[in-house]
Structure 1
Amino acid sequence: MSPARVPHLLLRAAADALRFIWANGLSYEFMDYRESLEFESPPPVVAAFKTREDADSWLASNPKPPAMAYVLISGEYHVVAYRRENDWRTFLPHPTLEFYLEEMTKDGLPPVVATFNTREEADAWFAGQSEPSAQTVIQIGGEHYLAVYYRNINHRAIFPLSIAKRLNRSGGPATRARLPGGLKRRGPPRSVTRRPPSRWWGRTRESRFP
């Protein structure tokens, strides 16, 4: 392929991607995804489940599993693995949140927006917000947590920042997460490769960077 054709092919691919989004009625989902990148919040998820049994039931009954999408199961990130050639489908743990929190805390803990004595107090405060910030750093009983609002599924989750220590115990982040069946997913995702600006912890989605 001639190097001169590369820009043209990239533009064509981008145009095809936009047409695909419009044709499948995914305009708002695309907008929410771009906002998640702008606000440097953790990677978006398409669903959240309290138990693995609930997640397995959802996946088994899904006629078109969202291949390579993230879901939360019991508060932990998993990727949907699916091969339509043989209808193989499962969930696989993925350390994308660990990557994100490691990047966030590599230069020290970010400032705290709110402090609580118990998790129950923090949950009540978070649940009482009609339009929470994309993410907010809080403190519960002296430990730092990240309160994340997934607007696309109207889900709230609170993660301890200490999750990032899992990467240190496992010898550091891998350059690639491998999935069974020949599937591959690179890590960490692009949304965790830039350090989250400390000036906007707790800002709402209506806010914009200067």
Structure 2
Amino acid sequence: MQKANALEFSATNDAVEWLKRNRKEVLVGSIVIIAGAANSEQHEALRNSRIALHFILERNEAGAFEEFFKNFNNKDSFTPVLSFSTKEEADAWLEAHPAPPHGAFVGVGQLRYHVAYARELKHRKLLPLPTQEEWARMEEEPEQEEVEEESNHPPPKLGAEFHLFDLLNVVCFYLYEMEQRMSSPEEIEALKTAKIAFHFVMDTGEEHGFKEYLETLRSSMVSPAALQSFSTREEAESWLARQPEPPPPVVVAIGRDLYSVGYNRRHQMRLLLRIPTPQVLDTRAP
């Protein structure tokens, strides 16, 4: 399993230079910390982005994420399985389907939508994909009038019940604020990587798994005591093999490291996901 290397830079320029030399490594195994957050909400957005990247890397899906990243805005890779004349027709199909094909794409006219379905959470939604023109507009410096208009919009908030879609909206809102203060394509690319990480988790159908990972991470910070402790990973994996399928989301210790017990529903695999330390997740750490 690939390990995530937490790289912290005291200045944005240092991070940019590192990104220029190691762009591929950002996608396949390293988490870059750019000290550019201006408020607590932006710090939290960076922290949640870092958790999403840890979740992907600990599941040994760095290669799949790299491929997903490269094709994320490639319209040729978004071949729709069905096409509809109107969004209303597409929504009606989604609601009537007993088990919508998570990760598939449907077309509505010239637009493309990503089918998101979380069976455990009884949640289904069509997520619009940005067009090439929209990506280009997002990467350009916005007009002053647009900035003033957007500043009047209230920021999105998380609901009482966890939904990865809501978390994505909140994270993107504050990362977009950060983008407005960044000047180089490399910086914007790093934030784009963070956003796409959430899309990747949804595309793999692991909203429920990510929710469990967040819960075990939070419980480990409140009470660091692990359910079970092991000297070696082999001992932990032997214990995990005897657990129900899927195993309960609990925290175990291997040596001095804490791990979240997870489950890859797509491949029906039991997982031990290393929990990052508070120091690694703290975007304000010196």
Using the size of structure 2 for normalisation, the TM-score is 0.25
**More helix per residue: 1 or 2?**
2
**More strand per residue: 1 or 2?**
1
Structure ID, larger Rg: 2
